[in-house]
Amino acid sequence: MVKYIATVLVDDVYMSVPNEDTLTTAITGFSADGRVMYMLDSRLGNTAALYTKNMATGETDLVFEHPKADVSGVMAHPVTNEIEAVSANYKRTEWMVLDKEIEADLAYLRTVENAEVNVTSRSMDDTLWTIAYTLSDGPVKYYLYDRDDRSARYLFSNRPTIEGLPLAEMHPVVIESRDGLELVSYLTLPYGSDADGDARPDGEALPMVLLVHGGPWARDRFGYNGTHQWLSNRGYAVLSVNYRGSTGFGKDFINAGNFEWAGKMHDDLIDAVDWAVAEGIADEQRVAIMGGSYGGYATLVGLTFTPDTFACGVSIVGPSNLRTLLATIPPYWAPVMKMFTTRVGDPTTEEGLALLEERSPLNYVEKIERPLLIGQGANDPRVKQSESDQIVEAMQAKNIPVTYALFPDEGHGFARPENRTAFNAVAESFLSQHLGGRYEPIDDDLLPSTIQVPTGADGVPGLADALPTGTVK
């Protein structure tokens, strides 16, 4: 069935998009002659579908929609800019051909590598294409494709230093939430632990790290993931879950997360842990929760709202109090403040303020029973240092142990390689202590970094001795 959208220009407003569609509706481009506009739109359905609009008549036609995933990419002719293929990413990226002229090309390209295909550029005469192949257990591989000869020549990879290494494969899995939502997730097992490739360990259940993505209006996806590789190399199963509120799966899935921070969004994470335990993947007594930004918040929620579920937690730049988080949003975030108030909680109303306080881990510090490692950048403009300071101080006041790693030259996450290495060295020693996986002792890994540990250095094996001279412990 063809769908139509009417666009009306009223008071200089070209198009009106309701709040529930703002993350799944956008103008994406125009044909070369400017007569056709391309846009993603969810206003007439659930997922972001691809539409064309005739700029002369205003008529808008549906080109393609996926029942479970938003349109995530298009292939356009290099001269006319007419769309020839479109992709959607549910578990993995799938390309649907719209123009039969390139059908045989894509069919051939799928035979070159067992990986996701992405056409990155095309010559103006359209005889040569550059292709990127995305794998989960190796670097992105680039090829030059000759359409006349129908042949592809390998060029290079984006990370030659990891070519040929024994890396673990990522498995897309779909986990059902307690209320029936499909949670597209990604599981990585240690290399060599899954001989038949069924995404289940050959032997006993493994210690597991639940790795929670930030945003929360973002998503995990298939492909090479350095954190998955690092943790699986240390002997852990690693599970990343697209909990409700994640993007890419339609507006209904996003909007199901409205006002559900520490609510149903956290239930999804617990359901994923329960699934992994039931499937014989995870040892129930040895599951950690770890993440950055919203993932850091989810870690704090995990240790306060469900204190018996996780053996330990690693929170990186995670907000501890939603009220203070919204009160310190930087000025350049002002245009998206409306999204926070309509999806997280409105601090200008009594009801909204009560919800923010109810869902803030800081208010439940006394429930923390399991070890916690916190990482923070002192210059973070999004999640201020005060978010970590205040929960550390509250834990200290109640004599609850915590290890706090502070980097004075970092912002929202750790950008400097020396600081990332330092924090990872601390984190893997911490995880080893509580989950039992392998780790490399902390030697001189901290020296090039700016790491400070205001409290809890003695709580991580080797950390106190490895800290640079003069660092607060």
Which residues carry out catalysis? 293, 380, 412
311 secondary structure, DSSP code: S
176-183's contacts with Cβ under 8 Å and 24+ in sequence apart are 176/271, 176/275, 177/244, 177/264, 177/267, 177/268, 177/271, 178/267, 178/271, 179/264, 181/244, 181/253, 181/256, 181/268, 182/68, 182/249, 183/241, 183/242, 183/243, 183/244, 183/268, 183/271, 183/272
Question: For residues 311 and 365, what is the distance between their CA atoms, to the nearest angstrom?
Answer: 16
Instruction: Give the span between the Cα atoms of 54 and 57, in whole angstroms.
Output: 6
Residues 234, 312 contacting (CB under 8 angstroms) = no
Helices (H), 198-260: 226-233, 251-255
Q: Which residues contact 300 (CB under 8 A, 6 or more apart)?
A: 313, 315, 318, 320, 361, 372, 391
Amino acid letter, residue 473: K
Q: Where are the alpha helices (DSSP H) in 78-141?
A: 103-112
Reference 186, options 221, 212, 147, 213; nearest CA is 221
Neighbours of 111 (CB within 10 A): 8
**Which ranges in 337-440 belong to alpha helices (H)?**
337-343, 350-358, 385-397, 417-435
Give 114's Cβ-side CA count (13 Å radius). 3
Lookup result for tokens 């950048």: 377
**Residues contacting residue 408 through CB under 8 Å, at least 6 positions apart:** 378, 379, 450, 452
Q: Could you tell me the two tokens for 398?
A: 């109640």
Number of helices and strands in the chain (H, E): 11, 20
CB 173 within 8 A of CB 199: yes
Q: How many CB atoms lie within 10 A of CB 169?
A: 17
